Amino acid sequence: MEVLIGSEAIQGRVREIGRQIARDHPEGAPLLIGVLRGCVIFMADLMKCLPIPHEIDFISISSYESSSTSSGAPRLVKDIGRDIRGRDVIIVEDIVDTGHTLDFLRRTFLARGPASLKTVALLDKRSRRECNVPIEYVGFEIPDRFVVGYGLDFAERFRHLPYIAALSPEELIPTPAIRSAGVA
């Protein structure tokens, strides 16, 4: 396991993003919508670094209909619990890879009439992009490596690590339950 982004670097960048979001929302009260489950640590740290009033909610998306094949069709598993009409909404993602999930989320939320819709992603694996999606706040652009830690998992492991690490191909034991994205 190779550490790509250390804990202190993450914390410093999260503080910068928090200040930037605060500057962009002088009236305060944006609604942060975290995309479960990878967002949880980033979301919690970002909230602590966001010096303006804000609210939070969570949404859960299934990227693949089948566990063994990529359908490329995200599906809503758990919706948020409020009306976002007229709200300044910020989607909180741990990582944007192909962009299909974010594209689905943006279309879903835009249809509900928010005042504004932005995205903050800790990690941007831009070289893998298949959908042209805007990301207003990016923590780090990363290479096409399989990464874990700070909320991101491999077969539900490693989410607790305080840093972002890359697994080598030998450390990746492909199973049908593991998404193909980034594993090869």
Catalytic residues: 97
Strands of 51-158, DSSP E:
55-62, 75-78, 88-96, 116-124, 137-141, 146-148
Helix (H, G, I), strand (E, B) or coil at 33: strand
- Taking CB under 6 A as the binding criterion, the range among 19-27, 75-83, 89-97, 139-147 that sits at the site for ligand PRP is 89-97
Question: Out of 18, 30, 34, 38, which residue is the one contacting ligand PRP (CB under 6 A)?
Answer: 38
- Residue environment code for 45-59, b if the CB has 16+ CB neighbours within 10 A, otherwise e: bbeebbebebebebb
Q: Is there binding between residue 95 and ligand PRP (CB under 6 A)?
A: yes
Question: Out of 101, 114, 142, 148, which residue is the one contacting ligand PRP (CB under 6 A)?
Answer: 101
Among the residues of the chain, which ranges form H helices? 7-24, 40-48, 100-110
- Taking CB under 6 A as the binding criterion, the range among 1-9, 11-19, 88-96, 168-176 that sits at the site for ligand PRP is 88-96
Nearer to ligand PRP, 30 or 104 (CB): 104
Question: Out of 31, 54, 80, 94, which residue is the one contacting ligand PRP (CB under 6 A)?
Answer: 94
List, in order, residues 6 or more apart from 103 with CB less than 8 Å away: 131, 133
Q: Which residues bind ligand PRP (CB under 6 A)?
A: 35-38, 63, 93-102, 153, 181
